[in-house]
C-alpha cells in the first residue's frame, strides 16, 4: 500500500522540480525570493530520499503480514507520505488559482494592482509551504534511519502494469463436485423430503469461507424447477457479519412489494409492517452470510415469517453451525471441502488454459502440489489457478509452492495464503487500487466508472489514463479478486461487479485502520484517528455521529442516508478530502458556501432537492475533476452556478435524471475544455443575454460516450448549430437530440429551422446510437446520416409534422429501429421507407435493412396502411430485413395489416398490443393472417403469450375450461 503512495509523491516532486521553480516573484526582495528558491534543493533532497525508500517497500509490504514492527514502520511512512501529498497539492492549487485569476483580470486600471497583491499572497503562501517541506524532510530522515534495522531486501518495484496477455475468461463449472448436494438442496426447497414442515421452514447451508456456499445458493435460487414452483415472492438478502435488523427487515418488506419503508421510524412499527407484507404470501428468501448467534436478534423475524403461506422457504448460508441451530433449521446441509481431484480440475482448467500439452505435462507435478494447498476450497483453487495461468516458467511455479505466505494461518485454516499470493503478485500500483475497495461494505455493487473515478481522485491512476484503469479491472477479474461482471441495467457502457466475502476480508485486513465502514445502526465505533477512507451509513432520523470528527485526515468520505442530515461541519473538519459522496433519498441537504474549503477535492457526488441550488463557491474547487449531481425529485433545481466555468480541471459532469425541463447551463461552459463526459447539455432560451448557446460545445472535443443535447428548439439558426462542431467529437458513441424549447409550439417557422438545424449538427462518423425527439420538421434525412457507417441504433419519437418516414432502409449497419410516440400526419407507409430507388431496382440483388434485428413501432395513431414492395419480379431481386428477429407493434389502432415481406424474415418474436384490427387479423386459428405468422416461435398478442418456442401456450384458465368441458362430456356419455 505504501509503495503506490510513495510512487505518487515521487512523480509529484519530479514535476515540481521540472516546472515550478522559475522567477515568478517579480520585484520582491532578493532575500525573500532566495528563501523560496532554496526549496528547490529541499525538494530534490526529498525526491532522492523517497526513491531510496521505494527500493525497500516490496520486501516491507510482504513482511508486514507477520511482523507487527514492520507494519508500524509502514504506517509511519504512510502518514508522512500523506502529509507530503497534501503540501504538494497546496502548492499546485495556489498555482492553478493564480492562473485563473490572471484570466479573469478584466479592467486594465486594476490589473497591475491585482498582480502585485497576487504575487505577495503567493509569496507568503509558498513560504509556509517551504517550511512544511523542510519539516517533512526531517521526519522522513528519521523514518528511513529506523528502517535500516529491518535489513530490507532492496528491489526495484514493478511500476508498470502490463495488459493481460489474453482477455478470455476461462469457464469453470461453478458446481464441480456438487451435483449431489445441489440436488438435495433443491429437493428440500421444493418440499420433496420427509422432514416435518415447520413455520418458517428454514434450510441452512453451512461451511467454511470459500467452500462455495453462496455459489451453491445462487444456483439453487436460479434453478428452473424452483422458478416454476410458483413462489409468490422471492428475494436475496446479504446479511453479513454484523446483523443489522433494520436493514434485513426493510429488505424483506421490499421483496414482498412494500417499497423502501422509509416512513417507518422505530423497530416495533417496522415489525408490524413486515408482518403485514409477509402475511399469506408464499416466499422464497435467501439470507446470505449470517453470522450472529444471538437468538434474540432472530426471534422477531421468526415470528414475522410464521405469517407466510404454507410452502414458503428460507435458505440461510452461514460459516457457523451454531447459527443454523439458533435459526431453528428444519434441515442443515454441511458443505464439505471438494475432493483433491475436483480441486485439481478447477485449478488445472484455469492454470493450463492456452498452454500446449507438453508444457502442461511438465508443470503437472508441481501444479498438483500447489493444488493440494487449496485444501478443497474452490475459491482458493480458482484464485491460485488464475495466478499460475500467467506464470510460464517452472521455477516461477516452484517459487509459489515454497512461499513463506503458506505459513499464514490466521483466517479460516489459512485461506488468506492463496489470496495473499495473488495480492502480492499484483503490480505494485494495482495493490493500492485493490485495497481501496475495502472501504465499501460486503456485497457492494461496484460500478467501474465510479470506482475508477475514485482511484483517479486519490491519485492512484493518472487522470488521463482510462485505458490503464481498464487494464487494472481486467487483471483483478482474471485473478478472481473481482467477480460477477455484468452490464449496468440502465447504461450498457458501465460494468458492475462484486468482491467475494473472503476477498473483501483480505482487503480489510491489509488496509487495517485506513479503510473503515460504519453501519450507523450499530453501536460499533472503531478508532478513527488513523482512518483515511470512511464509508458511513446513517440510520433513520439521525445525524452524522460526532465520533467521525476525530478522523481529521480523511481522504474519502462516503455518507449514505435516507433523511436530511447536517453537512456543513464536514466542510470545516475534513479539508484533506479528495473524494466526497453524499446521498439523501428522502430529505434535503443544504450545500453551504463553505464547500470551497475542500481545496483538495477531486470527486464530488452530491444530491439536489427541490429548490435547493449549488452555491457559487463550488467554482472555487479548482482541483475538481468529477462532479456527479444526483437529481431525484429535483423539479425545482433549475441551474448550475455561473462559477462552474472556473472548474478548468473538470473531466466529468454527470446528471442523474430527472432534470427540470427549464434547466440552465451557465454561459462560459465552453471553457471546461478538459471534459470527457457530459451527460446533458441544455441550450439556453433565445431572449436571455446570458444564454448558454450551442456554440459552447465547440471546444469540448474530448467528450466521450453519451451526450444528450436538450432544448434544441432554442437554437437560433443553422449557423449556431454548425458552431457546435459535433463532428470533431470523435469519442462520442451515443447522441440524443431533443428538439424541445421555450415557445416553439404552433411556431410555423420552427419547422424549417429544425430541418436546417438537424442538417447542420453533423455528428462524428463513429456514432453507434442516435435518438431524435420532438423534431418538428416536415422532412428528415439529413445529408450526414448516410455517413454514419457504425450506426446500430436509431430512435425517432414525439414528432408532429413529418409527412413521411425517411428512407431508413439505406442505413446498412442499423440493428435496432424504434419509431413512436408521435403525431405524424401520414396515414400510409410505402416503399419510400425502405429506401428503394427506382433507377437501381433491377441492378442485381438489393439488400434493404441488411442488419436490422429489432423493429418497433409505438403509438402511431394516424397510421392506417403499410404497403409492401409488390410484384414477384421485384421480390426476386430485393432482400428485405434478412436478419430481423423481433417485431413489435404497439398502440397503432388504425393499422389494418402488415406487409408480407416481414414474415419471410428470420423472425423469432412477434408482438402486437393495443392495435385492435391487427389483434383480430392475427388471432390464433381464426384470424385471416394467422397462417402468415404461425411459423414464428414466440408470439404475444395484447400481453398474452400465444406461442412460446414454437408451441401453443395454454393458460391455466383455458385448462380449467377444457377440464370442465371434458367432465360434462363424460357425464353425458354416462347418462
| pLDDT of residue 407 exceeding 90 | no
Distance CA 97, CA 117 (A): 13
**∠ CA(536), CA(538), CA(544), 5° rounding?**
80
3-class state of residue 331 by DSSP:
strand
Give the three cell numbers for residue 337. Answer: 471441502
Q: Parallel, antiparallel, or unpaired for β 677-678 and 652-656?
A: parallel
pLDDT in tens, 740-780: 876 555 456 778 899 999 999 999 999 999 999 999 998 89
Which pLDDT value is given to residue 38? Answer: 61
Residue 940 predicted with pLDDT over 90: yes
Q: Highest mean pLDDT range out of 225-234, 586-595, 717-726?
A: 717-726
pLDDT at 841 over 60: no
- How far CA 720 is from CA of 132, 599, 667, in Å, comes to 51, 37, 15
Over pLDDT 70: what percentage of the chain? Answer: 81
Nearest to 515 by CA among 599, 446, 432: 432
Task: Beginning with the edge strand found earlier in the chain, give each strand of the sheet holding 652-656 in spatial order.
Answer: 515-519, 533-537, 556-561, 579-584, 603-607, 626-630, 652-656, 677-678
For the chain, the distance separating the N- and C-terminal CA atoms, rounded to the nearest angstrom, is: 88
Residue 800 reports pLDDT greater than 60 = yes
What is the overall mean pLDDT for the chain?
A: 82
Please, how many CA atoms are within 13 Å of residue 148, restricted to the half-sphere of its CB?
Answer: 6
Integer CA distances (angstroms), 355 to 12, 343, 351, 380, 612, in order: 42, 19, 9, 21, 60
Strands 446-447 and 495-498: antiparallel
Whole-number Å distance between alpha carbons of 446 and 443: 9
User: What CA–CA distance (Å, rounded) separates 860 from 915?
Assistant: 10
Cell of 40: 528547490
Confidence of residue 310 (pLDDT cuts 50, 70, 90): confident
| Predicted pLDDT of residue 46 | 76
pLDDT at 172: 53
CA 64, CA 956: separation in Å to the nearest integer? Answer: 65
Angle subtended by helix axes 394-401 and 357-372, to nearest 10:
0
Backbone angles phi and psi of 206, in degrees to 5: -115, 150
- Written as nine digits, the cell of 477 is 477479474
| Residue 587 to residue 813: CA distance in whole angstroms | 47
Encode pLDDT of 773-784 as tens digits: 999 998 898 989
User: Would the pLDDT of 44 be above 80?
Assistant: no
For 61-172, strand residue ranges (E) read none
* pLDDT-derived band at 484, boundaries 50, 70, 90: confident
Cis omega (within 30 of 0) on the bond before 594? no
Per-residue pLDDT reduced to its tens digit, 870-901: 654 455 588 899 999 999 999 999 999 999 89
Instruction: Read off the C-alpha cell for 973.
Output: 356419455
838 CB neighbour count, 10 Å cutoff: 7
240 closest CA partner among 520, 516, 505? 505
- Per-residue model confidence (pLDDT) at position 872: 45
Mean pLDDT in residue range 806-830: 91
How far apart are alpha carbons 900 and 146 in whole angstroms?
A: 85
Length of the chain: 975
- Render pLDDT for 322-340 as a digit per residue (tens, 0 to 9): 888 888 888 899 888 888 8
Q: pLDDT digits over 522-577, tens only? A: 555 677 888 999 999 887 777 788 888 889 899 999 998 867 777 878 888 899 99
Summarize the confidence of residues 497-505 as an average pLDDT. Answer: 88
pLDDT given for residue 873 in this prediction? 43
3-state secondary structure 8-25: HHHHHHHHHHHHCCCCCC
435/426 Cα distance (integer angstroms)? 12
Region 581-598: what's the mean pLDDT? 82
What pLDDT is recorded for position 609? 58
Amino acid at each position: 500500500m505504501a509503495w503506490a503512495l510513495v510512487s505518487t509523491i515521487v512523480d509529484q516532486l519530479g514535476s515540481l522540480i521540472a516546472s515550478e521553480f522559475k522567477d515568478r516573484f517579480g520585484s520582491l526582495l532578493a532575500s525573500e525570493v532566495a528563501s523560496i528558491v532554496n526549496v528547490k534543493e529541499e525538494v530534490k533532497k526529498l525526491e532522492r530520499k523517497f526513491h531510496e525508500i521505494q527500493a525497500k517497500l516490496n520486501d516491507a509490504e510482504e513482511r508486514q503480514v507477520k511482523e507487527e514492527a514492520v507494519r508500524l514502520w509502514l504506517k509511519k511512512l504512510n502518514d508522512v507520505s500523506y502529509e507530503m501529498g497534501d503540501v504538494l497539492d497546496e502548492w499546485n492549487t495556489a498555482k492553478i488559482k493564480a492562473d485563473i485569476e490572471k484570466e479573469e483580470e478584466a479592467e486594465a486600471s486594476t490589473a497591475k494592482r491585482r498582480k502585485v497583491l497576487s504575487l505577495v499572497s503567493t509569496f507568503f503562501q509558498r513560504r509556509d509551504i517551504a517550511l512544511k517541506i523542510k519539516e517533512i524532510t526531517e521526519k522522513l530522515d528519521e523514518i528511513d534511519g529506523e528502517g535500516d534495522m529491518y535489513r530490507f531486501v532492496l528491489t526495484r518495484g514493478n511500476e508498470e502494469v502490463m495488459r493481460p496477455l489474453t482477455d478470455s475468461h476461462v469457464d469453470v463449472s461453478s458446481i464441480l463436485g456438487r451435483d449431489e448436494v445441489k440436488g438435495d438442496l433443491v429437493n428440500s426447497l421444493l418440499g420433496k423430503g420427509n422432514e416435518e414442515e415447520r413455520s418458517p421452514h428454514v434450510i441452512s447451508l453451512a461451511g467454511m469461507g470459500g467452500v462455495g456456499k453462496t455459489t451453491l445458493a445462487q444456483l439453487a435460487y436460479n434453478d428452473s424447477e424452483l422458478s416454476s414452483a410458483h413462489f409468490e415472492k422471492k428475494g436475496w438478502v446479504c446479511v453479513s457479519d454484523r446483523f443489522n435488523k433494520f436493514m434485513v427487515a426493510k429488505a424483506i418488506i421490499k421483496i414482498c412489494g412494500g417499497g423502501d419503508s422509509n416512513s417507518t421510524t422505530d423497530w416495533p412499527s417496522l415489525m408490524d409492517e413486515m408482518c403485514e407484507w409477509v402475511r399469506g404470501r408464499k416466499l422464497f428468501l435467501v439470507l446470505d452470510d449470517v453470522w450472529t448467534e444471538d437468538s434474540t436478534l432472530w426471534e422477531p423475524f421468526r415470528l414475522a415469517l410464521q405469517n407466510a403461506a404454507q410452502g414458503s422457504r428460507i435458505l440461510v448460508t452461514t460459516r457457523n453451525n451454531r447459527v443454523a441451530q439458533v435459526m431453528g433449521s428444519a434441515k442443515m446441509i454441511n458443505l464439505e471441502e471438494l475432493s483433491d481431484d475436483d480441486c485439481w480440475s478447477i485449478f488445472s482448467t484455469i492454470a493450463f488454459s492456452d498452454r500446449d500439452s507438453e508444457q502442461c505435462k511438465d508443470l503437472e507435478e508441481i501444479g498438483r502440489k500447489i493444488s493440494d494447498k487449496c485444501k478443497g476450497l474452490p475459491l482458493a483453487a480458482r484464485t491460485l489457478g488464475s495466478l499460475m495461468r500467467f506464470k510460464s516458467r517452472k521455477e516461477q511455479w516452484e517459487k509459489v509452492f515454497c512461499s513463506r505466505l503458506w505459513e499464514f494461518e490466521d483466517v479460516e485454516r489459512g485461506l488468506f495464503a492463496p489470496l495473499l499470493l495473488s495480492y502480492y503478485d499484483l503490480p505494485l500500483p494495482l495493490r493500492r487500487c485493490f485495497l481501496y475497495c475495502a472501504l465499501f461494505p460486503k456485497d457492494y455493487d461496484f460500478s467501474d466508472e465510479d470506482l475508477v473515478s475514485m482511484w483517479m481522485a486519490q491519485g492512484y491512476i493518472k487522470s488521463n489514463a482510462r485505458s490503464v484503469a481498464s487494464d487494472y479491472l481486467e487483471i483483478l477479474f482474471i485473478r478472481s479478486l473481482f467477480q460477477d461482471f455484468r452490464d449496468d441495467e440502465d447504461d450498457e457502457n458501465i460494468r458492475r461487479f462484486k468482491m467475494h466475502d473472503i476477498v473483501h476480508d483480505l482487503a480489510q485486513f491489509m488496509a487495517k485502520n485506513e479503510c473503515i465502514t460504519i453501519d450507523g445502526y450499530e453501536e460499533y465505533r472503531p478508532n478513527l484517528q488513523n482512518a483515511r477512507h470512511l464509508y458511513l451509513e446513517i440510520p433513520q432520523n439521525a445525524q452524522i455521529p460526532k465520533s467521525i470528527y476525530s478522523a481529521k485526515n480523511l481522504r474519502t468520505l462516503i455518507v449514505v442516508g435516507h433523511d436530511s442530515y447536517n453537512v456543513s461541519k464536514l466542510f470545516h473538519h475534513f479539508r484533506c478530502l479528495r473524494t466526497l459522496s453524499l446521498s439523501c433519498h428522502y430529505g434535503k441537504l443544504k450545500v453551504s458556501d463553505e464547500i470551497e474549503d475542500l481545496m483538495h477535492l477531486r470527486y464530488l457526488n452530491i444530491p439536489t432537492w427541490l429548490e435547493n441550488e449549488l452555491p457559487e463557491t463550488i467554482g472555487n474547487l479548482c482541483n475538481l475533476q468529477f462532479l456527479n449531481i444526483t437529481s431525484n425529485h429535483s423539479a425545482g433545481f433549475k441551474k448550475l452556478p455561473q462559477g462552474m466555468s472556473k472548474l478548468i480541471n473538470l473531466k466529468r459532469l454527470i446528471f442523474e435524471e430527472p432534470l427540470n425541463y427549464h434547466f440552465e447551463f451557465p454561459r462560459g461552459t465552453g471553457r471546461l475544455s478538459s471534459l470527457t463526459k457530459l451527460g446533458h447539455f441544455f441550450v439556453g432560451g433565445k431572449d436571455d443575454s446570458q444564454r448558454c448557446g450551442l456554440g459552447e460545445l465547440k471546444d469540448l472535443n474530448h467528450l466521450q460516450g453519451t451526450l444528450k443535447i436538450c432544448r434544441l428548439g432554442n437554437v437560433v439558426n443553422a449557423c449556431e448549430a454548425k458552431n457546435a462542431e459535433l463532428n470533431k467529437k470523435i469519442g462520442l458513441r451515443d447522441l440524443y437530440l431533443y428538439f424541445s424549447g421555450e415557445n416553439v409550439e404552433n411556431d410555423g417557422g420552427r419547422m424549417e429551422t429544425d430541418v436546417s438545424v438537424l442538417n447542420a449538427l453533423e455528428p462524428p462518423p463513429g456514432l453507434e446510437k442516435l435518438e431524435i425527439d420532438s423534431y418538428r420538421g416536415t422532412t428528415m434525412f439529413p445529408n450526414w446520416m448516410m455517413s454514419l457507417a457504425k450506426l446500430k441504433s436509431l430512435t425517432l419519437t414525439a414528432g408532429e409534422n413529418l409527412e413521411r418516414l425517411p428512407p431508413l432502409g439505406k442505413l446498412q449497419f442499423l440493428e435496432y429501429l424504434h419509431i413512436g410516440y408521435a403525431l405524424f400526419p401520414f396515414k400510409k407507409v410505402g416503399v419510400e421507407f425502405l429506401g428503394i430507388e427506382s433507377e437501381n431496382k433491377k441492378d442485381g440483388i438489393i439488400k434493404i435493412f441488411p442488419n436490422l434485428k429489432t423493429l418497433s413501432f409505438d403509438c402511431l395513431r394516424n397510421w392506417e396502411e403499410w404497403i409492401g414492395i409488390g410484384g414477384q419480379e421485384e421480390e426476386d431481386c430485393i432482400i428485405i430485413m434478412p436478419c430481423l428477429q423481433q417485431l413489435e407493434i404497439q398502440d397503432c389502432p388504425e393499422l389494418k395489416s402488415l406487409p408480407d415481406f416481414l414474415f419471410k424474415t428470420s423472425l423469432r418474436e412477434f408482438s402486437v398490443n393495443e392495435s385492435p384490427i391487427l389483434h383480430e387479423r392475427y388471432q390464433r386459428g381464426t384470424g385471416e393472417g394467422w397462417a402468415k405468422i404461425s411459423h414464428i416461435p414466440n408470439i404475444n398478442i395484447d400481453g398474452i403469450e400465444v406461442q412460446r418456442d414454437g408451441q401453443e401456450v395454454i393458460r391455466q384458465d383455458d385448462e380449467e375450461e377444457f377440464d370442465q368441458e371434458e367432465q360434462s362430456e363424460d357425464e353425458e356419455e354416462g347418462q
